[in-house]
Amino acid sequence: MKKKYWIIGIIATLLLVSGVAYGVYVYQNASIQIMIVNKTDKPIDRLEIQLSPGVTFRTLPTVNVGEEVEETVDPSDSNVKMRDKVWIAHTSKSGSEIALGYIETAYRGKLEVVIHKLEENETEVAMTKLGVKLW
């Protein structure tokens, strides 16, 4: 009788361990959905999602005032790993790149990036505030 309980215990332990391992795998390889919201008073052109500063993953079309643009960063085609950063950048009219900020990808699932302010002066320096929150 005791042998039967040992076998049941071993099977239950194996199922538990494999379930946890699968859960960790799915969590680390889940895609990140990024919603970018333009709360400025003018359209934003040449907004980029980058895997590191200067390495563009995707360039977004013009994000109009009040518009929400959703993009998906999928680890299978972008090599984004756990605890990496996804950068949001903007290329100014003069061609200089401005890093607006970054998102820690430890939060898998859906993220909302709200761009509250984007000003360019004579030296093409942007002042911006990124608000990042989970949906």
CA count, 13 A, side-chain hemisphere, 109: 5
Q: Are residues 51 and 107 in the same domain?
A: yes
Which residues, 6 or more positions from 45, have their beta carbon under 8 angstroms from its beta carbon? 62
Q: Give, in order, the Cα–Cα distances in Å from 85 to each of 3, 12, 97.
A: 51, 37, 18
In the chain, alpha helices (H): 2-28, 75-78
Q: Are residues 19 and 78 in the same domain?
A: no
Domain that holds residue 10: 1-30
Task: Indicate the pLDDT class of residue 127, thresholds 50, 70 and 90.
Answer: very low
* Model confidence pLDDT, tens digit, residues 24-56: 665 555 666 777 777 777 787 777 777 666 667
CA distance 133 to 80: 19
Q: Are residues 1 and 48 in the same domain?
A: no
Q: What is the pLDDT of residue 135?
A: 39
Q: Is the confidence at residue 131, as pLDDT, over 60?
A: no
CA distance 76 to 109: 15
Q: Are residues 16 and 42 in the same domain?
A: no
Q: Are residues 74 and 62 in the same domain?
A: yes
> Which of 19-28, 110-119, 125-134 shows the lowest per-residue confidence on average (mean pLDDT)?
125-134
CA distance 129 to 38: 11
Q: What is the pLDDT of residue 104?
A: 62
Tokens 């989970």, residue?
A: 134
The answer to whether the CB of 48 falls within 8 A of the CB of 88 is yes
Q: What is the pLDDT of residue 125?
A: 41
